[in-house]
Structure 1
Amino acid sequence: MPVPSRTRTILLTGAAGGLGTLMRELLPQYGYELRLLDVRPIEDAPDAIVADLNDTDALREAVRGVDGVLHLAGISLESTFDKILDSNIRGTYHLYEAVREEAAARADGTGPRVVFASSNHAIGYTPRPRVEDGAPLVPVTTPHRPDTYYGLSKSFGEDLAQLAWDKHGIETVSVRIGSCFKEPTDVRMMSVWMSPADGARLFHAALTAEKVGHTVVYGSSANTRLWWDLSSARALGYEPRDDSEAYAEKLLAEHGPLSDDNPAHQYMGGRFVNDPPIWPY
């Protein structure tokens, strides 16, 4: 397993969430020292920073001296516009402001790189490609077509990352994550699934690749039923090793194949286009 030539300190926001918990376990294997931040306390991490993304003083201290930021915090399902605005849009803006201020305070003017957890829901209304019929994979240049306020916030985050690079020289890799769970839970997810181990590989590549500017990549494993183009992720040095096809027999027996009569199977966003899961808080 490749490790950085020196220990790198990474701020991990959203460290108490599902994906954050997985990365807390996996990323230290790559030689990272993690500084954790979440709005909720983390039982096994008493030194974690407990703060909201709109606490600008806490964010400024959190980014002080770090080499990179893995930004996973925010609402991860659909919610009201006001809640999405406060957490995902204003919160991400405040994070980038803290990174900009940190860069300005450093002698070389270079701030920490950001790896931004974007989502396939930024292009959720893009029709799923019929790759089984020879259709091409969906490229990262696909225009934003968000399926929810949540997807809209991820479109905003990508655009903010581009502005931060063009205007302030802050590097970002925006990772359009599909579904990162230990196993895929339905047939559709087999096309967008990213194993936790591959997630750690991709985040490591995004944190260490040279001269990324603002790069958009899709985040998934090397799935046989893959819908999108992983070439920009591979260009960072990402080498996915897992494939959801190992779960195909079980999932097809439970759920049957994808159906064009089901709106959740017609678009990249799945059920977010017609029956989005709602943030419970």
Structure 2
Amino acid sequence: MRKRMEEHFAETPAVYHKKAKTLAVMSGKGGVGKSNVSLNTALAFIDKGKKVLLIDLDVGMGNIDILLGRQGRYTIMDVLNQQMPFHRALSTGPKGISYISGGTGLDTMFELNREKWAFFLKELSAVLSHFDYVLFDMGAGLSKDQLPFALSADDILIVTTPEPTSIMDAYSAIKHLALNGRELKLKVIVNRCISQKDGISAYTRLSNTVTAFLQQQLEYAGTIPEDSLVSKAVVEQQPFLIKHPRSKLSRAVYLLADSLLEAGTAKKEGSRSFIDKLSSFLRRGNAT
């Protein structure tokens, strides 16, 4: 599979027209199910006929390998530090999902020189042309080194729960984004809900606070129910969307995927590309 992937990338012209939609999945704190949402949403996209790449940016604390029960040979830090071609660092998982694991040392990203960043951006740009969607599983709390990736994405999905502390942590994360970006497309999914009513209530509280104090608009992406199947899937290291595709839990994720895909068709003409925006952020953070 890896050999066929490398041949495919090698034979593809260097000039591309199609660019993947990018989605940053983040939370205000850990333990809200962000990585599970990222992975199972990516798999739902595949079931909807999309080619998907999942990039684990929760470096040092990444869970994608664990949730898949696999160990990626290389990580995104190999691309950054060793100038490894991006396609070599990719792994393939269930349903044909492509993913790249997190590594260690993200806190040193901005210490990389211009040559390494130029290589990384060129590689990432080429990869984006081979997928319909690229999902970034961000670290909880969003460090300064991850901020450019979130602000450059076409959409940002905030994962929270109905717990008051989780809602306030989500608000803090959104505030961090708002202080550094202007035109933000923020969507909220409320995870671990006892009922849909609880999810809508949590979203409404968060949305009202964000509107009042940050002058930002949120979009409701839906709710995902509390379900013991999640913990069982984690123990078995098999995504619940594969293990229990007809469960209420999986149906909620498919609805989330539908919502995100529908929103993805409404991208403004003339808007800057992910690579253009990311490049500008990195130029500011790297003066070497």
**TM-score when normalising by structure 1:** 0.35
Q: Which has the higher contact order (CA 8 A, sep 6+)?
A: 2
**TM-score when normalising by structure 2:** 0.34
- Greater helix fraction, Structure 1 or Structure 2: 2
